[in-house]
Amino acid sequence: MGHIVAFSFCLYIASIRIMNESIGILYIVPTPIGNLEDITLRAIRILKEVDLVLCEDTSVTQRLFKAYDITTKTSVFYAQTGIKNIEKALNLLAEGKSLALVSDAGTPTISDPGVLLVDRVRKELPDVQVIALPGASALITALSASGVTSSTFMFYGFMPHKKGRETLFKTIAEGSHTSVFYESVHRIEKTLESLVATLDTSRMVVIARELTKLHEEVVRGNALYIKEYFSTHKDHVRGEFVVVVSGK
Ligand code: SAM
């Protein structure tokens, strides 16, 4: 009886594969956030097998491709203003092509415009499979390095530059959960000033900088300590940052 069930299940999977042969597949493929070794075997295989890779900056993606002998065609999908070539991607998927979406670093769609493509595919091409691969993300790497509980956390993406910025810092100060956000080198010092102004000294702030890269560092302490650390180590105000704040 068990054999019959197993055999029928295999037939079912095989028939799905055959049926899907002319249906497009969109793979969401995470790439390293610094260290080129941080990519899965499956991600490399998918990048080799798909018809086209949608990327952000061709030169960044080509560096990865060179390291892993990937020769698949690429097409730029992200622009300064957001996503471009979305119609082209949708047409290719509707024709049954397999595409992989990558970004310059980490998991596409997490705080990057790739989410717009996934949304449109799911709405407009329900037969197209969307397969997300697990892999590197600055968010999860920072949280796991921070030593701050992640059993409940709120991820804010990038803090707004102006409107709503101060309100968000107040929200973080009021939160009983861990807060995480991305910050750029241009605003990290301003952000540390806002954290000093809004958080009491019992709150742990963790700055995860240049994760997986040569100058990786994780600095922990209260907001005042962290602000002073970066104002006395100006040469560390460089690279990419994730900020983690413990809950109230
Ligand atoms: N989707 C990506 C991910 O899952 O990691 C994040 C993309 S977001 C456009 C880029 C931001 O991620 C950077 O500004 C920085 O805040 C953070 N980031 C990316 N790589 C990082 C690294 N190696 N170390 C620290 N932060 C990093």
19: amino acid identity, one letter: M
Q: Which domains does the chain have, with CATH numbers?
A: 2-132 (3.40.1010.10), 138-245 (3.30.950.10)
Which numbered atom of ligand 1 lies nearest the CA of 213?
A: 23
pLDDT of residue 15: 43
- pTM, to two decimals: 0.89
Confidence label for 194 from pLDDT (cuts 50, 70 and 90): very high
Q: CA nearest 112: which of 55, 34, 179, 38?
A: 55
206-226 burial: b if 16+ Cβ within 10 Å, else e: bbbbbbbeeeeebebebbeeb
Give distance in angstroms: CA of 182 to centre of ligand 1.
7
What's the gap in Å between 12 CA and the centre of ligand 1?
40
Instruction: Report CA(109)–ligand 1 centroid distance (Å).
Output: 12
Split at pLDDT 50, 70, 90, the class of 78 is confident
87 CA from centroid of ligand 1 (Å): 27
Asked if residue 13 has pLDDT above 50, the reply is no
Distances (CA, A) of 57 to 110, 114, 149, 218, 235: 17, 13, 34, 28, 27
- Specify the pLDDT at position 83: 72
Tell how far the Cα of 33 is from the centroid of ligand 1, in angstroms: 7
Residues 6+ apart with CB under 8 A from 74: 52, 53, 54, 55, 58, 61, 62, 65
Q: Is the pLDDT of residue 21 over 60?
A: no
Tell me the mean pLDDT in the region 226-233.
98
Residue 2 has pLDDT above 60, yes or no: no
Averaged pLDDT for residues 68-72: 98
pLDDT in tens, 39-64: 999 999 999 999 999 999 999 999 99
Pocket test for ligand 1, best of 137, 188, 241 (most atoms within 8 A of CB): 241
Output the ligand 1 site: residues, CB below 6 A. Answer: 33-34, 103, 105-107, 110-112, 137-139, 182-184, 208-213, 240-242
> Mean pLDDT, to the nearest integer, of 214-221?
98
